[in-house]
Amino acid sequence: MSVLAFDLGASSGRALIGQLKDRTIRVEEIHRFPNEPVQIGGRLHWDILRLFHELKQGLLRTKASGIQVESLGIDSWAVDFGLLDQRGELMANPFHYRDSHTDGVMEKVFETVPAQAIFAKTGIQFLSFNTIYQLAAIRQSRPYLLQEASRLLMIPDLLRYWLTGEMANEFTNATTTQLFNPSLQRWDPELLNSLHLPSHLFEQVVHPGTETGALRAAITGELGLPKMKVYTVAEHDTASAVVAVPALERSFAYLSCGTWSLMGTEVAQPVIHDRARELNFTNEGGAYGTYRLLKNIMGLWILQECQRTWQRQGLLYSYPELVMMSEAEPAFSCFINPDDPLFLPAGDMPQRIAAYARRTGQQVPQSPGAIVRCIMESLALQYRHVLECTEELSNQRFSGLHMVGGGIHNETLCQWTASAIGKPVWAGPAEGSAIGNMAVQWIASGELSDIWEARALIRDSFPVTIYEPADREAWENAFGRFCQITKSTTYI
């Protein structure tokens, strides 16, 4: 059985066909496209109509491939959304989570509902761009949007609605809004009421693997396609990536590594108590009755922004060149806390790293290679810190770390991560989100029995590279300095 996965990341999107044949999964990328935000009027938005156009191009290329695809699913980043009017039409372009309209809003929300109460209800970490704070910002500056809106749809919900004409909020993305109560298994009415958010915007939540219609006649007619089933998959891309973790044990730790890094473990029930809130961990919905106890880490975004800054200066380094240059620099010369708010917005990241180094009394890295080494070593050491916190909160001890996602192509980062955590890293598959998307479709259609059969099949179908720790004493000393400089044990 063949399925189509649309995997939308924060910088690019892809359409991939997955074929399940002879107990082997084969994946073919048939369409790739940039996902670039648009700056207009001082605001940063997603180009959502272009994304929908690219989905249709992916459908056309699927048709041209000659492969008969039975169904499709969409996964994407979390927290962002579109508001629909009474006619079901989009009222405004969705904000990009890095837009500044939420600056200071989270603290204002806490004046109405304390942080402790929000976490007790939702179990979700505090990030300034969470949906709850975006809606509070809209209510403050554009109240007419909420007054006239009839539905809120997360990004995959919205794109799926345009394909099928059916509206549904999917579970894994719904939980990231910080408005969904896992104990009640629905949107939290007290939070909505306290923040004066219209409850009719939020309807029943459906779980991954739910059939939500088929391609509408307007789409099949325009593109010359037969009807195709559309499923809700684990529509938060990290949730899909976790589905694809080729774990041998039921207890495992994962790192989904890309523009963002997300590290955690799979749990049967949310871990909601003061210690989890202090460490700013989250309990996002997973597939098949699970939750993802994890923490967001800024990830390779910092390196990507450095590369863009250097390109604007005429320094056209490729990604592999930057990694190679970093390897030639002295080790452990400078550290940053990747999760410092300084590094969240787009901009001149090398200058911000220099400012952070001066602020913390460190030697400022001068060359691109030294800057990249600082970023990558800091990420590896932050991974160790978060892994130890994950073990504490889940009351587990992990024998190693599964890394999935595009970041595993950075072999140096994989090796440094193994050395930093003092445990093996199992890297693969790179296409984790897309493969997890496909796996849920195959389970929904009855081709696979459950998530563990899917994981066994993924393990047998895709290579996993093992990285063993090295230079243990040097990395142990570096971790002590890193914690002292970055104050990684400071709670939020």
Tell whether omega for the bond before 429 is within 30 degrees of 0, i.e. cis: yes
Residues 6 or more apart whose Cβ sits within 8 Å of residue 475: 381, 419, 420, 422, 469
E strand or H helix at 282: strand 282-285
Beta strands across the sheet bearing 291-297? 282-285, 291-297, 261-267, 253-257, 401-404, 425-427, 465-467
Q: How would DSSP label each residue in 11-70?
A: SEEEEEEEEEETTEEEEEEEEEEE---EEETTEEE--HHHHHHHHHHHHHHHHHHT----
CB 301 within 8 A of CB 259: yes
| Residue 300: Cβ within 10 Å count | 25
371 token code pair: 């800057």
Nearest to 151 by CA among 73, 105, 203, 74: 203
Q: Are 60 and 14 in contact (CB under 8 A)?
A: no
**The token pair that represents 381 in the structure block:** 């050491």
Find, among 482, 110, 120, the residue nearest to 275 by Cα. 120
Question: What are the helix (H) ranges across 281-367?
Answer: 301-312, 319-327, 349-359
Annotation says 237 is catalytic: yes
Q: Which residue has the tokens 């099928």?
A: 164
Catalytic pick among 7, 188, 237, 339: 237
- Other CB atoms within 10 Å distance of the CB of residue 318: 9
Closest residue by Cα to residue 39 from 49, 31, 47: 47
Q: Which among 407, 107, 72 is positioned nearest to 219, based on CA atoms?
A: 72
Residues with catalytic roles:
237
